[in-house]
Amino acid sequence: MAIQVIKDKCKGCGVCIKACPFEAIDMNDKIAEINSKCTACNQCVAACPFDAIEKTESDEVIDLSAYKHIWVYAEQRAGKLMNVALELLGEGYKLAKDISEDTKVYAVLIGDNIKGLADECYEYGAEGVICIDDPLLKNFTTDGYTKVLTDAIKEIKPEIVLFGATHIGRDLAPRVAARLNAGLTADCTHLDVKVSSYIDYANKNTTLDTSTLDPNDPDRGIKQTRPAFGGNLMATIVCPNTRPQMSTVRPGVMQKIEPKKGATGELVEYKPSIKASDIRTEIVDIVKSTKELVSLTDADIICSGGRGLGNADGFKLIKQFADKVGGVVGSSRAAVDNGWIDHSHQVGQTGTTVKPKIYFACGISGAIQHLAGMQTSDIIVAINTDPDAPIMEIADYAVIGDLYKVIPEIINDWDKAEDLYDATTR
């Protein structure tokens, strides 16, 4: 699989050089030449006005059929399942049924005395639970968890393994993937197995030309879509020749299913072989932060402040606003970089991805990496003095005005919204 320039067709126009995100094309004697920085991302193929660049797919066939079923690493901390694990069970169930009727989704529980969490996994869509229980696995350690999970994967051979892109998932997954020599895609925001559903997704949400894709393609390999370049570029990654296919998925992106009370499934108790000397790190202490935990991912309403606040005090108004509307406080990277608010509030590519019902962007210009973390919000309200700020391009409601004047009025009239609305419909 590689990108090639068809020399007879190349006119030396240089469009591909500009299109290439990786500076991987040079011009030699008016013929484009692909250099070693190429990642086969395909941008140049699409950009070339003369169809002079092609992508050659490798036709090597490897028997991957020994691998079956989808595993979701059901991350628990201190006996409590993480939200993202439940989200992934919902997604995993959907993907499993897209692969085939008899493909199942399994939750993988690792810990000490955690069998009790199996029921919750079933309720959220797991058809089976693989339980890896040992006192040495009480707390997460890279060495311990990598060993037992790798052993289980080698033995049972799942087709796909999904992890939440938490600080633990992002520590564990790459280590496991490296030990298995398997492909891993980080921080995915969308997953498909059927080509037809990928086409649907792409047509609805992207500028991608899908005419070259066949909706009846029998391929059921996972197509993992993720942002790159600070959200400026989206890439869909596949893992054609290795198994299992592994992804970490950003928290807050996938949908939990309505829990099915009393649901049950197959329990696989996997006996780990682990000894204390396998674990080379010692957890001396686990400190829960005393600062208020901002659950941006769970919030229905987020009130975010940015550079336009002008100073740290501006967040007092944002806090009042959030308190009034029952939301939580978010922020742009600029506000965090200025030291106005803690990083835990940051929304965006390097912060939290959020999907609230309403996102109030107050004094946020809408740098692309901020948009990357909030643009799938149901409703976006932008309050900004600059009508040309990029945030206005994606806002459902653009309020052009001074946030210090408008927000107090919203706070004042929030409870009267119903009356105001009724007055207009009468």
Partner 1 sequence: MDFQLTKEQEFVRKMVSKFAENEVDPIAADIDKEHRFPEETVEKMAKYHIMGIPFPTEYEGAGGDCLSYAIAVEEIAKKCLSTSTILSAHTSLCTWPIYNFGTDEQKAKYLPDLCSGRKLGAFGLTESGAGTDAAGQQTKAVKDGDEWVINGSKCFITNGGYADIFVVMAMTDKSKGNRGISAFIVEKTDKGFSVGKTEDKMGIHASSTTELLFENMRIPADRLLGEEGKGFKVAMNTLDGGRVGIASQALGLAEGALETTITYMNQRKQFGKKLSQFQYPAFIIADMATRIEAARYLVYYAAWCEDSGVPHMIPAAMAKLYAAETAMFVTTKAVQLHGGYGYIADYPIERMMRDAKITEIYEGTSEVQRLVISSNILNK
Partner 2 sequence: MALKIVVCAKQVPDTNVIKINPKTGTLIREGVPSILNNDDANALEEALKLKDKYPDTFITVISMGPPQAKDLLIECLAMGADEGILLSDRAVGGSDTWATSNALAAVIRKIGDFDIIFGGRQAIDGDTAQVGPQIAEKLNLPQVTYVQKFELSDDMKTVTVERNMEDGYEVIKLQTPCMLTCIKELNEPRYMSIDKLFGIKPEAIKVWSAADVEVDLNTVGLEASPTNVFRSFTPAPKGKGITVAGDSPKELADNLLIGLKGKHVI
Judged by the rule CB under 8 A, the positions of this chain that interact with partner 1 are 386-388
Q: How many CB atoms lie within 10 A of CB 153?
A: 23
Kindly state the DSSP code that residue 107 receives in the 8-state scheme: E
Widest Cα–Cα separation across the chain: 75
Secondary element (H or E) of residue 253: none
322 binds, among partner 1, partner 2, none (CB under 5 to 8 A by kind): none
Q: How far is the CB of 262 from partner 2 (least distance, A)?
A: 31
312 binds, among partner 1, partner 2, none (CB under 5 to 8 A by kind): none
Nearest-angstrom CA–CA distance, 345 and 104: 37
The 247-286 contact track toward partner 2, x by CB under 8 A, reads ---------------------------------xxxxxxx
Backbone phi, then psi, for 192, in 5-degree steps?
-140, 155
Backbone phi, then psi, for 289, in 5-degree steps?
-65, 140
Q: How far is the CB of 307 from partner 1 (least distance, A)?
A: 13
Size of the site for partner 2 (CB under 8 A): 115
103 binds, among partner 2, partner 1, none (CB under 5 to 8 A by kind): none
When the beta carbons of 98 and 386 are compared against partner 1, the nearer one is 386
When the beta carbons of 262 and 387 are compared against partner 1, the nearer one is 387
Q: Is 80 near partner 2 (CB under 8 A)?
A: no
Q: Is the separation of the CB atoms in 34 and 3 below 8 Å?
A: yes
31 binds, among partner 1, partner 2, none (CB under 5 to 8 A by kind): none
Residues 285-304 that bind partner 2 (CB under 8 A): 285-289, 293
Applying CB under 8 A, among 90, 231, 308, 330 the residue interacting with partner 2 is 231
Nearest-angstrom CA–CA distance, 361 and 293: 21
Q: Is the separation of the CB atoms in 324 and 414 below 8 Å?
A: yes
Nearest-angstrom CA–CA distance, 381 and 391: 9
Q: How far is the CB of 332 from partner 1 (least distance, A)?
A: 17
Residues 168-227 that bind partner 2 (CB under 8 A): 168, 170-171, 173-175, 177-179, 181-187, 202, 205-208, 223, 227
Comparing CA positions, the residue from 245, 201, 287 lying closest to residue 92 is 245
When the beta carbons of 352 and 384 are compared against partner 1, the nearer one is 384
When the beta carbons of 385 and 412 are compared against partner 1, the nearer one is 385
386 binds, among partner 1, partner 2, none (CB under 5 to 8 A by kind): partner 1
Q: Is 39 near partner 2 (CB under 8 A)?
A: yes
Q: Which region, judged by CB under 8 A, interacts with partner 2, from 4-12, 99-107, 262-270, 387-395?
A: 387-395
Q: Is 399 near partner 2 (CB under 8 A)?
A: yes
Q: Is 402 near partner 2 (CB under 8 A)?
A: yes
Q: How far is the CB of 364 from partner 1 (least distance, A)?
A: 15
Applying CB under 8 A, among 13, 136, 267, 406 the residue interacting with partner 2 is 406
Tokens of 340: 């106005």
User: CA angle 131-240-64, nearest 5°?
Assistant: 55
Question: What burial class does residue 136 get, using C-beta atoms within 10 Å of its C-beta: 0-12 exposed, 13-18 middle, 19+ buried?
Answer: middle
Mention every residue, 6+ apart, whose C-beta is less than 8 A from residue 142. 171, 172, 175, 281
The 323-352 contact track toward partner 2, x by CB under 8 A, reads --x-----------------x-----xx--
Q: For residue 157, is it left (φ>0), alpha (ψ between -120 and 50) or beta?
A: left
Q: Which region, judged by CB under 8 A, interacts with partner 2, from 20-28, 97-105, 106-114, 128-136?
A: 20-28
Backbone phi, then psi, for 84, in 5-degree steps?
-65, -30
Q: How far is the CB of 365 from partner 1 (least distance, A)?
A: 10
Comparing CA positions, the residue from 246, 249, 239, 227 lying closest to residue 21 is 227
